[in-house]
A and B are shown apart, each in its own frame.
Chain A
Amino acid sequence: MAILINRNTRLITIGLTGKQGTFHTLQSRDYGTNVVGGVTPGKGGTIHEGIPVFNTAYEAIKETGANAAMVFVPPAFAADSIIECIEAEMPLIIAITEGIPIQDMIKVKAMLKGSKSRLIGPNCPGVITPGECKIGIMPGHIHMPGNVGVISRSGTLTYEAVFQLTQREIGQSTCVGIGGDPVNGTNFIDILEMFEKDPDTKAVIMIGEIGGTAETEAARWIKKNMTKPVVSFIAGAAAPKGKRMGHAGAIISGEDDSAEAKFKVLQECGVTIARSPAELGQKVSEVLKK
């Protein structure tokens, strides 16, 4: 089962023929993902690394029956490509691109409302259902099929958590990077809801950061709706106020969006807290034994 992607996912890459697009599409294909096409305007009708290329997302979907798109378009043009995918009614859009202007994402967010598309990202590592399908830039080999769902705003911290799980022979159902930008397509609650409904998921790791209130909203949602155990770490307890810590969205601007404030609400809502990122694997193994 898992969530979002599986064996039946048919992927196209928007921006296939670029260096990054090519490299990561091939890595995903090597992992077992069914890559059915790509989009690069002006290169329609050609074959790139054995993959058919189309000029537009509409054409690619019509010709290949794709049901997921991975976006590797440079930041200045990425929002345009995402909007093209939304208008072409692509069910799942995963945007890897980092550095999309906020005003562009505000338009994308408005387009998503009431549309047939779900957007994951941008500025994210992508989504992987271990053993079945990988869409993104994460190293496939550290994953292992299993029953822990992972949701995160950060790429490398997700790898860290997954690695700790796999070392303990705890597999993952699906790992979702929702991205480090202040405006994104999908938030913690959307994914938590999917994990709650997914029979293959027994526990969830949620990795948050300073900035925004997505984690505290998720905490309140968990308290009300979630029956499965959730383990959470918030990065940035040592970060100074007012400084942007790498990710566009990782900035403490008030009292409510510090790591301490988020840990507090999470704990009050019954979430198991990992104060150190090195404890994530251990904490999950503890909640699974309960």
Chain B
Amino acid sequence: MNVHEYQAKELMREFGISVLKGGIANTPAEAVEVAKKLDTKVWVVKAQIHAGGRGKGGGVKLAKTLEEVEKYAKEILGMQLVTHQTGPEGKKVLKVLIEQGCDIDHEYYCGIVLDRVTGQNTFMVSIEGGMDIEKVAHDTPEKIIKAHINPATGFTPAVGRKLGYALGLKGETLNKAIKFFDGLYKLYTQKDCSIAEINPLVTTKTGDVLALDGKLNFDDNALFRHPEIEAMRDVTEESAQELEAGKFGLSYISLDGNIGCLVNGAGLAMGTLDILKIHGGTPANFLDVGGGATKETVQKAFSIILEDKNVKAILVNIFGGIMKCDIIANGVVDAAKELSLKVPLIVRLEGTNVALGKKILSESGLKITAANDLADAAQKAVAAAKGAK
């Protein structure tokens, strides 16, 4: 789960990480009110969307007067902000963060991620702040300094010194940076983050170390123990279908093709998308009904797939292990009848109770194309989607 920059900064304050003073606004008038309360000569108006690259897209503006704060807030609020992370359609801006300005001395990068190779939380810092860190990692990997954190000890001052000296910091600034890293690590682990990225982390002319921007991602599997994070969820940033699917234990991701897919298991669901592409088709979605699917969840899955008007054919690919083919078959038949399915339906069943499942489908009176195996299913689905055009 993602949160906005202003929410990330609220959390950082809780953990003693220095951030600039600021406040959130939903209207230009609110923006001016917030700006008035800040003791500053310049203000920064920042679009709040779940994507990076906002500055380049025109979503971050420096205002020198209260009139400018209002003007920029008016421009940014409601705009369809396009960045390299939003896709060409962009994202609508509903909130702006108004912050005080600061006198930047240097910009750095600081992040914590999981290193999957060692299975440890890992700091990454770089003197190349404010840049696309993936590009830095690719072009000049030597400019990224990493430090693994031993879970038995957690963050130690030694780790802080390693990172701080690598950035060329010294004296009081170094001590402040170490405190900053310590706070960020505590936030990361105590709130079950999956990514914490401060880009840029800045040192100021007055010797402060602070987070100018902040991106936090949270481990969905740990949200059960963080109702305070769950409460920060902005549903306008998430796909309505994906949220709805999640409520029924379905894992659904919308794609831009025209073959709807209903599969059990994440791996097989990915493999089904792959094989459709190999045979010249384009999948409309990823959908894993999971191992414990019932007739009801299968029906729900169908209705979510059909909400996508691009869908020209549906492929059901089930390898029944624990899930029995006859249960899936019943769900498919009921859903097809209830939703008076118009698009061609291709079903491939294999595994437990497959004979019974196939019998239910063939006796249903519905026009269902049965497939013999994975490749056959993909070919038939691709042909059906093309024929339907």
Contact = CB atoms under 8 A, between A and B. Distances in A.
Interface in B275-297: 275-278, 283, 286, 288, 291
Interface string B119-149: 1110000000000001001100000000000
B16 interface: no
B267 A180 contact: yes
A121 to B, nearest CB: 14
B85 to A, nearest CB: 8
A154 B266 contact: yes
A156 interface: yes
B309 interface: no
Interface residues of B, number: 55
B2 to A, nearest CB: 11
Contacts of B225: 76, 101
Interface in A44-81: 75-76
A149 interface: no
B119 A106 contact: yes
Scoring B194, B251, B352 by chain A CB atoms within 10 A of each residue's CB, the highest score goes to B194
Interface in B146-169: 150-152
A101 B219 contact: yes
B322 interface: yes
A138 interface: yes
A160 B377 CA distance: 14
Contacts, number: 169
B222 interface: yes
A100 B221 contact: yes
Contacts of A160: 268, 271, 319, 350, 374
B192 interface: yes
B253 interface: yes
B116 interface: yes
Contacts of B224: 75-76
Contact of A157 (B121, B271, B352): B271
B267 A157 contact: yes
Contacts of B120: 106, 109-110
A235 B251 contact: no
Interface string A80-123: 00000000000000000001111111110110000000000000
Contact of B267 (A102, A105, A139, A154): A154
Contacts of A75: 221, 224
A117 to B, nearest CB: 15
Given A238-B274, A276-B274, A277-B271, A156 B321 contact: yes
- The 6 residue pairs across chains A and B that have the minimum distance between CB atoms: A154-B267, A246-B266, A156-B265, A157-B267, A101-B222, A109-B119
Given A154-B266, A159-B268, 16 more contacts: A101-B221, A104-B222, A106-B119, A109-B119, A110-B150, A110-B151, A139-B351, A154-B270, A156-B265, A160-B271, A160-B350, A163-B351, A235-B270, A239-B270, A250-B266, A277-B374
Interface of A: 24, 75-76, 99-107, 109-110, 125, 137-139, 141-142, 152-160, 163, 180, 182-183, 207, 209-210, 212-214, 217, 233, 235-240, 242-243, 245-250, 254-255, 259, 275-278
Interface of B: 85, 114, 116-117, 119-121, 134, 137-138, 150-152, 189, 192, 194, 219-222, 224-225, 251, 253, 255, 263-271, 273-278, 283, 286, 288, 291, 319-322, 350-352, 373-375, 378
21 contacts: A101-B192, A101-B221, A103-B192, A106-B151, A110-B152, A141-B352, A152-B267, A154-B270, A157-B271, A163-B319, A163-B350, A182-B114, A209-B267, A209-B270, A235-B274, A237-B274, A242-B85, A246-B269, A250-B266, A250-B270, A277-B275
